[in-house]
Structure 1
Amino acid sequence: MLVRLLYASRAVDEKTCDTVQLIMQQSRLHNPANGITGVLCHTDQVFMQVLEGGREAVNSLYAHILRDPRHKDVMLLDYEEITERRYAGWTMGQANMSKINPSILLKYSPLPVLDPHGMSGKMLLSLIDELMATASIVGRT
C-alpha cells in the first residue's frame, strides 16, 4: 500500500543551506533502497516535505524526522493512502522557496512567503504541483 505524507517544520539553526544539503544527501542514499520518493521545499527558516512510498517505510522515516534535532515544531499536514505516486521522478526533489516567483505563493497563501504551519495540506500539495508544472523543483532520480 502506498501513502503520501506531508509535514512542515522549522529550522533549529541558521545554517539552513548546510542542513538542506545534508538532508538531500541522506535522502539520495536512503530513499531508493526504501522505495521513498518526494520533494523538499525550504526557506531559511522553514522546511516542508512530501514523502511517498510504502506505509511502513514512510511512517518509519517520519518517526526518524520527529526525532531529528535539525527540526523543531514538526507538524503533520496531510497523510493519505494513494493509488499512484505524484513524485516518482525524484528520490528527493528540492525547491528553494526563496527563489520562487512570489506570485506563485500568492495563489495559495495570504502573503508571498512560505508559511506551511498556517496553510492547509491540500493547498500545499497544490502549490507543490504548481512548482512541478513550472519546473521549479530540481533533483534527480
Structure 2
Amino acid sequence: MLVRLLYASRAIDTNICDTVQSIMLTSRSHNPQNGITGVLCHTDTVFMQVLEGGRDAVNQLYSHILKDTRHRDVILLDYEEITERRYGGWTMGQVNMSKLNPSMLLKYSPLPVLNPHDMPGKMLLALIDELMATASIIGRS
C-alpha cells in the first residue's frame, strides 16, 4: 500500500543551507533503498516535505523526522493512501520557496510568504503540484 505524507516544521539553525544540504544527502542515500520519493520545500525559517512510499517505510521515516533536532514544531498536514505517486521522479526534489515569484504563493496563501503551519494540507499539495508543473523542483533523479 502506498501513502503520501505532508508535514511542515520550523528550522532551528539560522544556517539553513547546511541543514538543507544535509537533509538532501541523507534523503538521496536512504530513500531509494526504502522506496521513498518526495519533495522538500523550504524558506530561511520553515520546511515543508512530502514523502511517498510504502506505509511502513514512510511511517518509520516520519517517526525519525519527529526526533530530528534540526527543526521544531513538526506538524502533520496531510496523510493519505494513494494509488500512484506524484513525485516518483525524485528520491528527494528540492524547492527554495524564497526564490519563487511571490504571485505563485498568493494563489494559495493570504500573504506572499510560505507559512505552512497556517495553511490546509490540500492547498499546499496543490502548490507543490504547480511547482512541479512549472519545473521549479530541482534534483530530479
Opposite residue 88 of structure 1, the aligned amino acid is G
Percent identity, aligned pairs only, is 81
TM-score by length of structure 1 reads: 0.99
Q: Distance in 2 between matches of 1:127 and 1:86?
A: 13
Give the aligned residue type for 1:4.
R
Aligned 1:34-113 pairs, distance under 5 A: 34-113=34-113
Moved over 2 A (4+): none
Structure 1 counterpart of 2:133 = 133
Amino acid in the other structure paired with 1:82: I
Task: Name the SS for the 2:47 alignment partner.
Answer: strand
- Per-residue deviation, 1:140: 2.5
SS of aligned partner of 2:90: coil
Unaligned runs of 5+ in 2: none
Q: Which amino acid aligns with 2:59?
A: N
Distance 2:104 2:135 in 1: 12
* RMSD of aligned Cα (Å): 0.4
- CA distance in structure 2 between the aligned counterparts of 1:101 and 1:94, rounded to whole angstroms: 16
1:10 match: 10
Secondary structure in 1 aligned to 2:25? helix
| Inter-partner Cα distance in structure 2 for 1:130 and 1:140 | 16
Structure 1 segments unaligned to the other structure (5+ residues): none
Task: Provide TM-score, normalisation by structure 2.
Answer: 0.99
Q: Which amino acid in structure 2 is aligned with residue 113 of structure 1?
A: V
CA apart distance, 1:62? 0.2
